[in-house]
């Protein structure tokens, strides 16, 4: 077989593979409302490929030099976009918060930005160390929202649920101006993470949407003297405060304090007046 013939075969094979590769992209979601909504939001998107995830239409595509995925419902409503990032393309505040965290030595597997309607954007860093996996969720200014262990790396987790009217009404009345960050419903309990007064606050509701409690992280230095005195009285001087949550419920308020001691860790609940809750 002469060299010229081999060259023609190789060229023809290359064109065939390019044609097949191009045809592999399904640019039609088979839903006109979804297609129009996508084209309105992402004009000039490239390499668009549609798939389904449950009841959602999901487009994988390239847009403004980034790989992205966008979720739409059957009525053409946009629900979420995931954008691939790297550690270096994260906002400085997010990158520094991660590098100063206890997970800084873990291997970074993936970094993503999640945008959802009428909510706070979140940045998610997927990590691995040995058989352990974790996802760190940050706001744009480096505030840690949540840490998920072995979550299965399912982006559908970040699709926000529509808040029940009773829950939305409670948030609007008790936490005016709050931005929704995340929602989760499991085992008869409903959790909503909000950003309010520059704090990430976790709100918990039961199955009939009545409020159970709200809690958020505090720095140990923010503990009142009455609580510190009660803490010393309970455990003496040989301790280190590991974590503090401020917890408020319909009937009580307390500080939930995790401490480390040489003879074992301990968790205490102490009211603002310095009373220990058993």
Q: Please report, for the chain, the start and end positions of each structural domain, with discontinuous segments joined by +.
A: 1-79, 86-155, 165-217, 220-277
Looking at residue 10, its pLDDT comes to: 44
Q: State which fold the 1-79 domain adopts.
A: Nuclear Transport Factor 2; Chain: A, (3.10.450)
Q: State which fold the 220-277 domain adopts.
A: Nuclear Transport Factor 2; Chain: A, (3.10.450)
The 10 Å CB-count burial string (b at 16+, else e) for 243-254 is ebebbeeeeeeb
Looking at residue 24, its pLDDT comes to: 65
Instruction: Measure the CA–CA gap between 234 and 218, rounded to whole angstroms.
Output: 20
* 90 CA to centre of own chain: 15
Q: Distance of CA 96 to CAs 87, 135, 138, Å?
A: 10, 16, 11
Say if strands 199-206 and 189-196 run parallel, antiparallel, or are unpaired: antiparallel
More confident call, 160 vs 4: 160
More confident call, 261 vs 89: 89
Looking at residue 17, its pLDDT comes to: 40
Instruction: Measure the CA–CA gap between 159 and 52, rounded to whole angstroms.
Output: 14
More confident call, 143 vs 278: 143
Asked if domains 1-79 and 165-217 share a fold, the reply is: no
Please give the CATH number for the structural domain made up of 86-155. 3.10.450.360
Helix runs in 24-82, H state only: 32-41
More confident call, 21 vs 244: 244
More confident call, 223 vs 239: 223
Q: Which tens digits make up the pLDDT trace of 86-133? A: 999 999 999 999 999 999 999 999 999 999 998 899 999 999 999 999
Q: Which tens digits make up the pLDDT trace of 26-74? A: 789 999 999 999 999 999 999 999 999 999 999 999 999 999 999 999 9
Class of domain 165-217 (CATH, top level) = alpha beta
Q: Which two tokens stand for residue 175?
A: 């936490």
Instruction: Measure the CA–CA gap between 43 and 45, rounded to whole angstroms.
Output: 6
The 10 Å CB-count burial string (b at 16+, else e) for 53-86 is eeebbbbbbebeeeebbbbbeeebebbbbbbebe
- Which range, of 16-30, 144-158, 170-184, averages the lowest pLDDT? 16-30
């Amino acid at each position: 077989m002469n060299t010229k013939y081999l060259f023609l075969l190789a060229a023809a094979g290359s064109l065939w593979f390019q044609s097949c590769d191009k045809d592999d992209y399904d640019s039609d979601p088979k839903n006109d409302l979804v297609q129009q909504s996508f084209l309105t939001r992402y004009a000039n998107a490239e390499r668009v490929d549609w798939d389904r995830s449950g009841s959602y239409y999901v487009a994988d595509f390239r847009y403004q030099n980034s790989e992205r995925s966008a979720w739409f419902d059957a009525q053409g409503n946009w629900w979420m976009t995931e954008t691939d990032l790297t550690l270096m393309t994260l906002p400085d505040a997010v990158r520094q918060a991660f590098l100063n965290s206890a997970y800084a030595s873990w291997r970074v597997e993936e970094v993503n930005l999640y945008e959802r309607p009428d909510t706070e954007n979140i940045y998610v860093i997927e990590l691995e160390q040995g058989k352990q996996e974790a996802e760190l969720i940050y706001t744009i200014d480096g505030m840690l929202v949540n840490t998920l262990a072995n979550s299965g790396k399912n982006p559908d987790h970040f699709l926000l649920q529509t808040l029940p009217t009773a829950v939305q009404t409670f948030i609007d009345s008790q936490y005016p101006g709050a931005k929704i960050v995340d929602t989760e419903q499991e085992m008869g309990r409903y959790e909503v993470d909000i950003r309010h007064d520059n704090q990430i606050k976790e709100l918990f509701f039961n199955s009939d949407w009545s409020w159970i409690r709200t809690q958020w992280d505090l720095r140990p230095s923010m503990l009142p003297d009455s609580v510190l005195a009660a803490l010393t009285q309970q455990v003496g001087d040989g301790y280190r405060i590991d974590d503090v949550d401020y917890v408020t419920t319909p009937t009580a308020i307390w500080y939930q304090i995790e401490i480390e001691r040489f003879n074992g860790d301990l968790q205490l609940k102490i009211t603002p007046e310095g009373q220990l809750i058993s």
